[in-house]
Structures are given as structure tokens and as C-alpha cells.
Chain A
Amino acid sequence: MKSVVLDCRRLLCPMPVIRVQNRVDELPAGTLLEAVCTDPGALNDIPAWCRINGHKVIETKRSDQEYIVILQVGEAD
């Protein structure tokens, strides 16, 4: 399964969500996208964005000063 890492470090909300949204638009369904953020708000916002737009959050985690959300791109409408 294809996996992509997206660097959202130093971006403040809602820029990490916008970056994820724009990247997801380019990826085929099923792709895993790992968003690496430094704004803790991303742990709420990216999963919320996924829920309303039909993508699946696989995992959220913290490491040091970073907040990581791994999602799976859903089917397009």
C-alpha cells in the first residue's frame, strides 16, 4: 500500500488541515498519508476533517514536540 509523508511542521491551524486536504486530493483511495505537525491542534482538526470528508484516521500519536496523524484516503464521490 502506498504511503506518503507530509511535512506540516511550524504550520499553525488551519494550515496543516489545508495541506492535508490539498495532498489528499492528489492521492488515490487507499493511500496512507502521514501528516507530521507541530501544532497540537492538528490532533483535533485533521481527524475532524477526515470524519466529515470520508477519510479514515488510522492512528494519532505524539513524539517529542511533534504530533502525527496517519490517515487513509477514502473513495472520491
Chain B
Amino acid sequence: MMTQQRKAVALISGGLDSLLAARVMQDQGIHVEGLNFYTGFCVEGHTHAIRKKDQKKNKRNNALWVAEQLNIKLHIIDIVEEYKQVVFNPKHGYGANLNPCLDCKIFMVRKAYEWIRQKGFDFIITGEVIGQRPMSQRKDTMPVVARESGAEDLLLRPLCARNLPASLPEREGWVKRDKLYDFSGRNRKPQMALARHFGIEDYAQPAGGCCFLTDAQYSVKLADLWRARGSKQYEMDDIMLLKVGRHLRPAAHFKLIVAREEGEGSFLQGYRKQFPHLNTTSHPGPLTLIDGRVEEADLLLAARIVARYSQGRDAAEVELSYTDGTGETRLLKVEPLKPHEIPKEWFI
């Protein structure tokens, strides 16, 4: 009698570990398909198209690329809205920045668990390795992910399975435990050796930098946004704009987003209808969005800041056009602020 081919879904981040985990399963005859979740904070998503200097960089999406190397289907799931609750109220708290890594992993495995039940797959695999991450990949937190996601023993981590109690796929003999691995710790050499074994030479840099929430500077900007709004909230446009431009908050009730170069300027152009904005007219200068409500004195200060970042920074006077929230435009003439007149605390 022919044995039934078992089906697993792999959480594919685009990094080496999830690639290897999926490859190990394929080696055992398991049918694998990939799931990739888009939270809105994925580094790879935002950064491709904005800065001009980045436009010549390789624009491949690593998760798609990994799926292609493995010859598996990849299902990319937009979880931007649902993910907000993970960011706002992580039960297990934040990491060094605003990264809710453990809650994030639980959330993604839970989504994968819902997916396999809906699609008739047998189990879930991840590229997790014990001790690799300070929050979500520890010996004591890995069972928490399995338990709180609801996946329980349907969650298999092929790269470190032999350090963990046997999962259902191992106990049932769907996969051979002795052909799984016992990697642990932050040392990447075992993964690199396994990659060589499979003939995989080209892969994205080790995981860890794939989420903006792990970035200190980004987290400061997000915390500032929440403080200014009086509550933890964001929309997709907010989290995109946190990645773009120079952010200055001269007062609690408004901040400026000043384009740093042409690519950012083009990107911010797309937001002109949503935000009051300033454009220098007498000299080349950056498009600047104003987030918040500004009185006349605030506006003049904002204009002086923008003038400082224009090519008229040394001129006695710079002319700017100001367009308010209704689309009405008027001209302003201001003296550019000197660099030392902009306090460091204004930079977010």
C-alpha cells in the first residue's frame, strides 16, 4: 500500500534557517508549501523603492527567492491590521526596542495553524533554533510558542528538534527524528555547513534584521508617534513614513518629515494631499510634510527649518510655498535657521 505523502507548511522569512528547515523536510519526502506574513514592518518591503541610492540594489524579495530555490509554492499573507494588537499589547512584552518577538512568533504560528486546518495540511515547520534569539528562540519560550499558538505538537522545528520533545510528526513516523538536527546557540556554522551540504551557496544574511521594530531608531520614532497622538495607534501610512526622511519635532503638537534626497522626495510627493506641506521655491530644497496642527508661529518656524535644509541655507532669505490641509497655497519668506539653532532634541 502506498503511504500517504504528508504535507507541511513552512514559515518562510527569506533567511537561511527557514530555507534549511523546509529543505530538510523535502529530503524526508514531505510536501512543503511556504507561508510568509507581511506585518507592515518587514524591512525588505519598505526599503526597495524609496531612496534613490537604493534603487540600484538587488530588489529581490527573499521569501519569494527562497520559495523558488525550494521549488515550493509561497503564500504571502497580509496581516497588517491583525498584527496591530501584537504591537500594541504584547502579552510577553517588548525586547530591547519595540519588538514583540515572542508574541509575534506565537501569532504567526497561530495563523499557520489556522491555515493548515483550513487547507488540510498535517503540520507546521519553522527554522527556529534554540538559543538563537534572546526572546522567542529560547529553550523555555519555545514550548510557549507551541502551546499559546494552539499548534502544540503539530509544530516541528527541524533544525533543533532533537533538543526538544518529539513532535507528533516524529512520533507518528511521518518524519525520521534521527534525520533532524540538534542545532543550538547563536553560532551559525552548523547552518552554513548544512547549506553547503545541500549545495546552497547564495542566501540572505542571517535573520534578525528583517523587522523594523528591532531597530532602535525606528522604535524611537514609533514611540514618539504614540506619545504625540496620546495612544498606541498607527495606520499603514504612518509606519511607512517613519522610515522615510528626517523627522523633527519642534513642539509636541507637530513634527516635520523632511526628504533627505530625491528618492524620498518623490515618495513623499504621494502624501501631499494628506498632509500640509512646504516646498522651497527660491532655491532647490526638500519637500517637507507637516504632521500635526500648526499655528502661524509654528509654520514660520517650520519654514525656517526647511529653508535650512535647502540650497538657500546660507542666503538671507528663502521663499517657500505652504499648502494647507484644504489644498490652499501661499508663499512665505523666511530666514533659514542656522544649524546650531536647531536643538538636538528636535531630531527624533
Contacts and interface: CB of A to CB of B under 8 A. Distances in A.
Interface of A: 10, 12-15, 17-18, 21, 38-41, 43-45, 48-49, 51-53
Chain B interface: which size bin?
A: 20 to 34
Contacts of A17: 61, 64, 76
B48 A13 contact: yes
Contacts of B67: 48, 52
Interface stretch (B22-30, B38-46, B135-143): B38-46
Please indicate which of the listed interface residues B36, B64, B72, B75 has the most CB atoms of chain A within 10 Å of its own CB: B64
* Interface majority SS (helix, strand, loop, mixed), chain B: mixed
Contacts, number: 73
Contacts of A12: 45-46, 48-50, 240
B230 interface: no
Contacts of A14: 36, 38, 42, 44-45, 61, 63-64, 76
Nearest to A19: B78
B344 interface: no
B76 A18 contact: yes
Contacts of B55: 40
B199 interface: no
B60 interface: yes
Contacts of B75: 21
A40 B263 CA distance: 12
A14 B45 CA distance: 5
Contact of A49 (B38, B49, B74, B77): B74
B78 A15 contact: yes
B38 A18 contact: yes
Contact of A52 (B42, B64, B270): B64
Contact of A13 (B44, B73, B74, B270): B44
B68 A48 contact: yes
B68 A15 contact: no
Interface string B167-191: 0000000000000000000000000
Interface string B49-63: 110000100011101
A52 B60 contact: no
A36 B272 CA distance: 21
A44 B61 contact: yes
B275 interface: no
B233 interface: no
Given A10-B270, A41-B61, A43-B59, 5 more contacts: A45-B59, A48-B64, A52-B71, A52-B73, A53-B74
Interface in B57-108: 59-61, 63-65, 67-68, 71-78
B78 A18 contact: yes
**8 closest pairs, A vs B, by CB?**
A41-B59, A41-B48, A39-B49, A48-B64, A45-B61, A18-B78, A52-B67, A13-B45
Nearest to B38: A14
Nearest to B49: A39
19 contacts: A12-B49, A13-B59, A13-B61, A14-B76, A21-B75, A21-B76, A38-B49, A41-B59, A41-B61, A44-B59, A44-B60, A45-B59, A45-B60, A48-B67, A48-B68, A49-B74, A52-B68, A53-B73, A53-B74
A66 to B, nearest CB: 12
B133 to A, nearest CB: 23
A48 B61 contact: yes
B27 to A, nearest CB: 19
Nearest to B60: A44
